[in-house]
Structure 1
Amino acid sequence: MSTLTQSPTVLDSGTPAKLRRRSSVNVPLTVLVAVLSLTILIPLYFTIVTALKSSEQLNGNALALPTSIHLENFSNAWTLTNFPNALLISGIVTVAAVILTILTNSLVAYAIARNMHRPFFKALYYFFIAALFVPFPIIMLPVTKQMALLSLDNPVGLFLLYTVYGLSFNIFVYTAFIKSIPAELEEAAIMDGASVWTTFRKVIFPVLTPINATVGILTCLWAWNDFMLPLVILSDPTTRTLPLVQFVFQSQFNTDYTTAFASYLMAMAPLLLVYLFAQRWVISGVMRGSVK
């Protein structure tokens, strides 16, 4: 009986302490995260309130909430920047770059990762890694001239360049991931009569789902937000991407901040939705990869 009466006492005295340990907060880290969050939240807040104000309201307190909402800023930005055409061009370039990057870079990385014991593939691997340290401005003018000679100064040449220029970093990421995949999976597939291509397509590529998601998100962010490559590659004004269209618009109407900020929000919205969706996909992909 004494044991039965003392047991709840022990549980009651121990449980609060355990809960206190679990609910303890790292105050310095929390403050640091909060301060760093402000560097993103304040500019985002400023962009939103500016896009909803009139020019007269903007001349007052720039950080104040709008006294009246002016949605015509978005319709003006839609018309003045030819937003539908720029959105279509950016979407085509981004989607094509993501798909082509995942398909080609994973295949090249697989060939390198499984043949690192051979001198040629080892040298090829270090060649791609060395390319990470080559600044783009050094090769910008030769690449621009070459793309013009090949008649690739258009969106097709643009997403091809995103695929090629992302190869170095993606090879580095893919190779490290593929090395962690047991070779027994491929050996079992080969013993069942599968070719190298079939082994990659049906065995290795599905296991690459987490890293494919990571590479896809990074490529999507880069291709959608990039300004330098479209500036030097695209020669036809009708094929300008969103960042380039916004730059031209801002240089032409540099005092119309409300319309310009409205166009920024419209350009940011599709990518934000893609990121929120892809973030969940990455987490599920990581879970599937860990189970496998």
Structure 2
Amino acid sequence: MNGKKEKQLRPSSILKYLFLISGCLVIAAPLYVTIITAFKTREESTVNFFSFPSQFYLGNFREIIEKQNYFRYLGNTVIITVCSLLLMALVIPSLSYALSRNLRRSKFYRFSYIYLVIGLFVPFQVVMIPLVKIASSLHMSNIWGLIVLNLVFALRDGVFLFVAYMDSVPRELEESAFIDGAGVVQTYIQIVFPLVKPMTATIMILNGLSVWNDFMLPLLLLNKSKNSWTLQLFQYNFKTTYSFDYNLAFASFLLSMLPVMVVYVFAQKYIIQGLTTGAVKG
């Protein structure tokens, strides 16, 4: 017993826990400031910015929801996120299936796969300016153009993960379906796609978080008109509209965080299932 206690109190263990506690504090501190500022009046924030509110003031949330077209921007964000995810769920698994089954016997499919994977190593800043010019020339500087671009950027890591995951699907099942007279499309829909649902859920959840919180692409494509703003652009423009009212801004941050946090809490098991299943089968 004494030996076990001595092992638990080793300096390396103490440093490890200190590092973890420090990381938790770094994450928790901004969240604490966001929450307390959202529930404080302007006068309370002026007196002491980091103090706990004397009462939970809901006027900031009421002002945002009632007066600032909040639901328009929320609707735009929901439309962009949902439509982007539906396209990803349709395109990425089917494209990955075609690549996975023809990768070793076709130079065209091999080149297509390498071309998509290379995109993982190209920073967004490199393609940012050409992207804006091409989108403008194709009249894609709108919500629907942003949805298409979300799909394009999701193809890189989505195809990379799915092709490896597709290799774990037993090909005997597909061969049995072909013998029974099923075509490629029918085999994919009825046999392959149900087997890759964990990875599909993982890709959709991770990309859903990314699309919901995305700021740069909406800033480049949607900042011309207020009617096209997402929640992130709405928050960004607090600086000019309200001379940056911290109470309203942080209340808006909290409102935009809540839906995605709720979805993440309920969908967390699918993320873990998809990643662990892929790791074991890979």
The 5 A counterparts of 1:160-175 are 160-175=148-163
Deviation at 1:255, TM superposition (A): 4.1
1:232 aligns with 2:220: yes
Q: Who is 1:177 aligned against? A: 165
1:82 to 53, 69, 72: 69
1:98 to 85, 97, 116: 85
Q: Check whether the contact 1:78–1:263 (CA below 8 A) recurs between aligned residues.
A: no
Partner-residue secondary structure (3-state), 2:102: coil
1:31 aligns with 2:18: yes
Which digits, 9 at most, give the CA deviation of each residue in 1:51-110, with x for residues without a partner?
A: 111111112332221112210011112245421000000001001111111210111111
Q: Who is 1:147 aligned against? A: 135
1:215 to 175, 183, 203: 203
For residues 138 and 281 of structure 1, what CA distance do their matches in structure 2 show?
A: 33
For residues 126 and 110 of structure 1, what CA distance do their matches in structure 2 show?
A: 15
The 5 A counterparts of 1:231-270 are 231-234=219-222, 235-270=224-259
1:276 to 240, 246, 265: 265
- Residues 113 and 27 from structure 1, CA distance in 2 versus in 1: closer, same or farther, beyond 3 angstroms? farther
For residues 283 and 222 of structure 1, what CA distance do their matches in structure 2 show?
A: 17
Q: Who is 2:187 aligned against? A: 199
For residues 179 and 212 of structure 1, what CA distance do their matches in structure 2 show?
A: 15
Deviates more, 1:91-100 or 1:30-39: 30-39
1:68 aligns with 2:55: yes
For residues 67 and 26 of structure 2, what CA distance do their matches in structure 1 show?
A: 30
The 5 A counterparts of 1:101-112 are 101-112=88-99
For residues 288 and 215 of structure 1, what CA distance do their matches in structure 2 show?
A: 13
Give identity over the alignment, percent.
36
Partner-residue secondary structure (3-state), 1:114: helix
TM-score (norm 1): 0.85
Which digits, 9 at most, give the CA deviation of each residue in 1:180-228, with x for residues without a partner?
A: 2221121121112111111111111111111111111121111111111
For residues 50 and 179 of structure 2, what CA distance do their matches in structure 1 show?
A: 67
Q: Who is 1:6 aligned against? A: none
Structure 1: unaligned runs, 5 residues or longer:
1-15
Which digits, 9 at most, give the CA deviation of each residue in 1:124-173, with x for residues without a partner?
A: 11111111222223322332233233332211111110001111111111
Q: How many pairs align?
A: 273
- Residues 188 and 287 from structure 1, CA distance in 2 versus in 1: closer, same or farther, beyond 3 angstroms? farther
Deviates more, 1:249-258 or 1:26-35: 26-35
Structure 2: unaligned runs, 5 residues or longer:
none
For residues 179 and 44 of structure 1, what CA distance do their matches in structure 2 show?
A: 41
| Structure whose alpha-carbon radius of gyration is higher | 1
For residues 275 and 176 of structure 2, what CA distance do their matches in structure 1 show?
A: 24
TM-score (norm 2): 0.88
Alignment RMSD: 2.4
Deviation at 1:40, TM superposition (A): 1.4
The 5 A counterparts of 1:17-56 are 27-56=14-43
For residues 156 and 221 of structure 1, what CA distance do their matches in structure 2 show?
A: 19
Q: Check whether the contact 1:81–1:245 (CA below 8 A) recurs between aligned residues.
A: no
Deviation at 1:119, TM superposition (A): 1.6
